[in-house]
Structure 1
Amino acid sequence: MKKSSFKSPLSRLVTLVLFGLLAMGACKSKKKVVEAAPEPAPVEEPAPAPAPEPEPTAEEVAVGKLEGYFSTIASASSVQSANSSIQEALSMFSNQNTPVLIVIHEENGIKDYDEPTTIAKYLNYLKDTKKNLNFISDVRLDGSGKITELELRRR
């Protein structure tokens, strides 16, 4: 007859402990599988469209065009091309005698101006000197979009 190995309380205890460890190990591995499962990626909402750039004002457009004309006139390769650019630039003004004020100094909001000139004289000055030393600091427009006054500053 065979002798049963489960009769000893020690062997039963060891067998139960091993069985319990195996059962607990199986549970832990199931938990690991559940925990290891990748979480669903968060749904990203599309970024809101950037706010459209505000349209440039009539003054900003005029300043941009006029700065281009000043540069073109000062760097013209011939007198004829400079005169052509001058005629185009003059079309932006209410008349050829539109005042051009050049700020030479400002302190506490009080501006000192160079001798006032007209736009026609200033554009011819650019043509003759071939130097554009000023930038536009202020421009005034009439109701039809023509420039009625121009203020410049030294660069």
Structure 2
Amino acid sequence: MMLIGLLALGACKSKKKVVEAAPAPVPVEEPAPAPRPAAPTPSAEEVAAGKLEGYFNSIVNAPNVNSANNTIREALGMFSNPNTPVLIVIHEESGIKDYDEPTTIDRYLNYLKDTKKNLNFISDIRLDGSGRVTELELRRR
């Protein structure tokens, strides 16, 4: 009986199918990600406009008059002189602009300090060869 049992066990093992090993998948090379284009470097005008917007907001949000005056002095350093013209566009049609009464940067910065409201944004800025602002054009938000 034992002999039959051993033969039966041996027969079962020999009848098992041999599973062939599946071929290993061929690695697919993924293309390298395209290099990101370099972020365009901002122009001198864009950098100056960003700094001025920061100064305008700092003046409006200054906790006291001394802090606002210090920020005004710092901002005036960006201009060719304290009498640099500031033009505020109040209307534009067919490329023709109507301006509010012209003012100077010194007056405009003090206006921001007094009113604590920054209702305008910089629409055009002109710089001289040394990077100082020679003219500023603003528009209503």
Match of 1:67 among 50, 53, 72: 53
Tell whether 2:124 aligns with 1:138.
yes
Residue ranges of structure 1 left out of the alignment (5+ in a row)? 1-29
Q: 1:94 & 1:62 partners in 2: Cα distance?
A: 13
Q: 1:43 & 1:62 partners in 2: Cα distance?
A: 47
Deviations 1:9-36 (A, max 9, x none): xxxxxxxxxxxxxxxxxxxxx9xx69x6
Counterpart position of 2:140: 154
Residue type matched to 1:150 in 2?
Answer: L
Identical aligned residues as a percent: 67
Q: Which protein has the bigger helix share?
A: 1
TM-score, normalised to structure 2, is: 0.83
Q: How many residues align?
A: 125
* C-alpha deviation, 1:83, in angstroms: 0.2
Tell whether 2:120 aligns with 1:116.
no
Match of 1:127 among 109, 113, 120: 113
TM-score, normalised to structure 1, is: 0.75
Residue type matched to 1:48 in 2?
Answer: A
Hey, which bits of structure 1, 4+ residues long, moved more than 4 A? Answer: none
Q: 2:98 & 2:53 partners in 1: Cα distance?
A: 23
Larger Rg: 1
Residue ranges of structure 2 left out of the alignment (5+ in a row)? 1-18
* C-alpha deviation, 1:77, in angstroms: 0.8
